[in-house]
Amino acid sequence: MAAAPVWSVDPRTGKQREQVAVEATAQEVDSVVRAAHGTRAALADRTVRTAFLRTAADRLEAAREQLVEVADAETALGPVRLTGELARTCYQLRAFADIVEEGAFLDVVINHPDDTATPPVPDLRRYKVPLGVVAVYSASNFPFAFSVVGGDTASALAAGNPVVVKSHPDHPGLSELVAKVVRRAAAEHGIPVEVLGLVHGFEAGVELIKHPLIAAAGFTGSIRGGRALFDAAAARPVPIPFHGELGSLNPVVVTEAAAAERAEAIGTGLAGSMTLGVGQFCVKPGLVLVPSGAAGDGLVKSLTDAVSDTDAGVLLDHRMRDNFLAGVAERAQLPEVETPVTPGAGGEHTVSAGFLTVPAGRLADEGAYDLLLEECFGPVTVVARYDDDDQARSVLSRLPGNLTATVHLSTQEAAGEGRGAEILAELTPLAGRVLVNGWPTGVAVAPAQHHGGPYPATTSTSTSVGGTAIERWLRPVAYQNTPEALLPPELRDDNPLGLPRRFNNHLER
């Protein structure tokens, strides 16, 4: 049987653009993984690795015009958004190059023998080493930043691991182009091009997670798909770490005082956040707790006006469009659910933004309204009107894990008066990033960033954005009573590589 073709599709029309590849067979996946495994030694030198990451960023920037053109043709996200996303991706590569160059990520700790301790301490030297070949599953909604050379790939390469990417079917042409650019950058530094493998097809993704040489995996996508891969990773004869980002409702709490103080600004800000990128951000606010009464009414009016002025947009593919239309229709049919602005079809290939309102009391107990506590991918949010703090607290207590949780406070509450600190304490168990008087869309690439959260937001406690994302692809090793001549240079007393380390309980920079 001939291999199934992989087509590039225009989401604005639903028509095929061109065939860019064929789906990989099990034998081809095996070949790609084994070839990647064979490149591990080429990544061992941190200096070479650092130069490779920086060159990859340079080459991607040089190819910006072509990359953005293809990305827009396959995703309809627009040149402005995509140009910014490519810039973020290049920044991320350079940020990881800086981390590798500094070397603190290796977590070097050296303890000389201490016979006076109880029990006695032998000579111990600990640092971190790469896991091996990492499988990366691309996301649809960030064709640069969470795809072939996105955060998972960049952090895995920075840690010294080869990568095999399972491309997303929504942008296969772009995936091929990006992989070629990065491979050329690798070759410039004597690294075999097989250091970055690329496979297409659903079955290829299944075969990839099962391959015995795959040492870990990173995933961004749906709860259903991510959970299936997570279970497969755990069911292997040798289970592997699976760092999956699966889904998030990203709740927002607006206090009565905040709504009374700036209802119009909050409503306008919410509209911008929930419709950004046609609502296709993993941190889109999907549930907003707004007080009943006049202050909340003003916020809803502001939201209504702003969302009504939002143009219809194209989703990443027609399957997502069908799911969005079915999802909002099912939610709108629930009793007491109202649609001040009805979300739905904006045209043959587009969708229109909207939002739903519901009494918060309906969400406090299990039942049909649980549907409103599930993520709906696209430009829609649910505004739950609460009567008092206890009712809002009851809704929050029923939420699963999230990537973000947000509270909007008044000026006095932000200064420490009222329930501000109490609400933060209630939101902290729900999410990996807690915001005050802001909106969750927009994830800065910074050392202190955490993009993760309790399940089902993610399947681990790690982050997929920021410098500490590199920790996912490393494991610690301790050497005991090992002669100095046999130690790796990172662990020798004279510190020939000049690494930051903790030496006999003292931090050395």
Which tens digit of pLDDT belongs to each residue from 444-479? 999 999 999 999 999 999 999 999 999 999 999 999
> What single string gives the DSSP state of each residue in 210-257?
H-TTEEEEEEES-HHHHHHHHHHHHHSSS---EEEE-----EEEE-HH
pLDDT of residue 1: 57
Measured CA to CA, the distance from residue 252 to residue 246 in angstroms comes to 19
Catalytic status, residue 245: yes
Which tens digit of pLDDT belongs to each residue from 409-445? 999 999 999 999 999 999 999 999 999 999 999 999 9
pLDDT of residue 186: 98
Instruction: Show the domain range for 109.
Output: 23-246+461-473
CATH code, 364: 3.40.309.10
Measured CA to CA, the distance from residue 73 to residue 173 in angstroms comes to 10
The reply to whether 429 falls in a domain is yes
273, two tokens = 């956040």
Tell me the H-state helices in 333-447. 389-396, 411-414, 420-427
Averaged pLDDT of the chain = 97
The packing angle between helices 151-158 and 79-102, to 10°, is: 20
Same domain membership, residue 260 and residue 238? no
Share of the chain above pLDDT 90, in %: 97
The reply to whether 132 falls in a domain is yes
Which tens digit of pLDDT belongs to each residue from 267-302? 999 999 999 999 999 999 999 999 999 999 999 999
What SS3 class is residue 342?
A: coil
Q: Quote the longest CA-to-CA distance of the chain.
A: 78
pTM: 0.96
The packing angle between helices 79-102 and 64-75, to 10°, is: 120
Which tens digit of pLDDT belongs to each residue from 14-40? 999 999 999 999 999 999 999 999 999
Cα first-last separation, the chain: 60
The reply to whether 456 falls in a domain is no
Same domain membership, residue 196 and residue 136? yes
pLDDT of residue 509: 83
Residue 213 has pLDDT above 90, yes or no: yes
What SS3 class is residue 156?
A: helix
Same domain membership, residue 272 and residue 202? no
336 φ/ψ sector (left φ>0, alpha ψ -120 to 50, else beta): left
Pick the catalytic residue: 85, 194, 245, 490? Answer: 245
The reply to whether 39 falls in a domain is yes
Angle subtended at Cα 321 by Cα 315 and Cα 324, rounded to the nearest 5 degrees: 110
Structural contact between residues 431 and 451, judged by C-beta atoms closer than 8 angstroms? no
Measured CA to CA, the distance from residue 161 to residue 39 in angstroms comes to 9
Same domain membership, residue 316 and residue 329? yes
pLDDT of residue 365: 82
Which tens digit of pLDDT belongs to each residue from 359-407? 999 998 888 899 999 999 999 999 999 999 999 999 999 999 999 999 9
Same domain membership, residue 171 and residue 50? yes
Residue carrying structure tokens 């999410």: 431
Catalytic status, residue 366: no
Which tens digit of pLDDT belongs to each residue from 318-327? 999 999 999 9
Residue 2 has pLDDT above 80, yes or no: no
Same domain membership, residue 257 and residue 220? no
Same domain membership, residue 263 and residue 234? no
40, two tokens = 């591990």
The reply to whether 451 falls in a domain is no
CATH code, 162: 3.40.605.10
Same domain membership, residue 236 and residue 278? no
Same domain membership, residue 240 and residue 276? no
Pick the catalytic residue: 85, 282, 426, 490? Answer: 282
Helix (H) or strand (E) holding 92: helix 79-102
Same domain membership, residue 427 and residue 338? yes
| CA-closest candidate to residue 281, choices 467, 471, 451, 80 | 451
Structural contact between residues 12 and 314, judged by C-beta atoms closer than 8 angstroms? yes
Measured CA to CA, the distance from residue 14 to residue 409 in angstroms comes to 44
pLDDT of residue 337: 97
User: Which amino acid, 394?
Assistant: S
The reply to whether 450 falls in a domain is no
Same domain membership, residue 258 and residue 221? no
Q: What is the DSSP-derived secondary structure letter of residue 405?
A: E
Same domain membership, residue 423 and residue 319? yes
Partners of 166 in beta bridges: 137, 199
Residue carrying structure tokens 């009712």: 391
